[in-house]
Structure 1
């Protein structure tokens, strides 16, 4: 009788496992561009990619990486652009005063055709931390706010205070989540530096240095993001972007700071 029950349980386990979603993904390098400015992040649209580096943005053709335009915000007081995302012809950049305290943040907005600065949204002293990345999903903004360890910690808050915050189109907070402890440990002493939503409904995130992309999803309950998997990746943390102009596959752009390289990878 015990053997029969065990066998029944084993068979049911196999059947249930067959209906569980598979997260056996791989990330494969398909292209790389040498770009001396590649230090902070990259954004992408149908024809170009945009390299973001503290006070500057450079625009490059996707076919050969050729430089076609540049914006320099030094004279405007821009000191730490963190990442960016292109939405409907505009490049939205996460901007902060890192590593200064108190942490202040804003979103700086550019016309991708001319690479001119067209608008801004200031969070001032951001209650959630230092803005490192932003993306849209289902009409809402999702924004990563970082906290750091050691001398870069703000008011006694360490990396555990790093969070993902959801806003409506008018920048009003809707919800917020924290990262799971295992990722906080991997982020430390820095923090979550990049993030982008995939067409599969999964959130792809990076830390500050590691050659990894972390796949997450929103929890069914509670306040902690669910860590689905970790993908070895040809990046060194920092800001990433998903090319939404490509159909049928997920193309992820990232950077390798030590090599001044923009990388393009396919998630399969």
Structure 2
């Protein structure tokens, strides 16, 4: 569905060097701290910036060769762009209807009513969360096969986020669609994504299936003495602590079985990301 192969973009003080893939029928998450390169990668995929190297293909075609018909099969929510603030939702409907032949007006109106979207209010007066909700509804409303979502739940409260995640699950029910999504709210991605890429300083530092990460990754809490006796062949990163070390592993069960005296914690997305970025490789 979507592929980035050794994609490069160079700015003063920042270099993107990124390879990743989004399979048909899958939701792929891209996570990293602010400034890690998530939005740059998204803009390269959408052709909003000119890449300096590598290859990007969408629907089996290079991103540069996508035509209007191809782009009608993509739905987009970017964190730093949106609709004109001087439009209302009522104003937006004929715009979407004219731009997208498959625009589902009845569905869009029903969802706007369900989510209590103010139809006559100017979009510039919406809350950040309401703007994201409108962008997401619009992106889904014309039957796109691929959604590119950069922080789509930013600014939403917990109830609104849950509603939007349900909307994305509903969108995926046909089994032929795909989503590339970034979010700084790890719980959203844990419950939604099939696989995850972690990016730091413009480079992919980890790619793992979400279930695999949650089941097998862990953080060991060891004293200096325990660390000296530890079999470190499955340690990915270590971090110095007051009591000794925190150690990230992708083989949690190995250490639970062979070192039952060592405290181990489940490797949440936040824990794994923190250790991959702030920990040191052996």
Q: TM-score, normalised by structure 2?
A: 0.28
Q: Which has the higher strand share?
A: 1
Structure with more of its chain in helix, by fraction: 2
Question: Greater Rg, structure 1 or structure 2?
Answer: 2
Larger relative contact order (Cα-Cα within 8 Å, sequence gap ≥ 6): 2
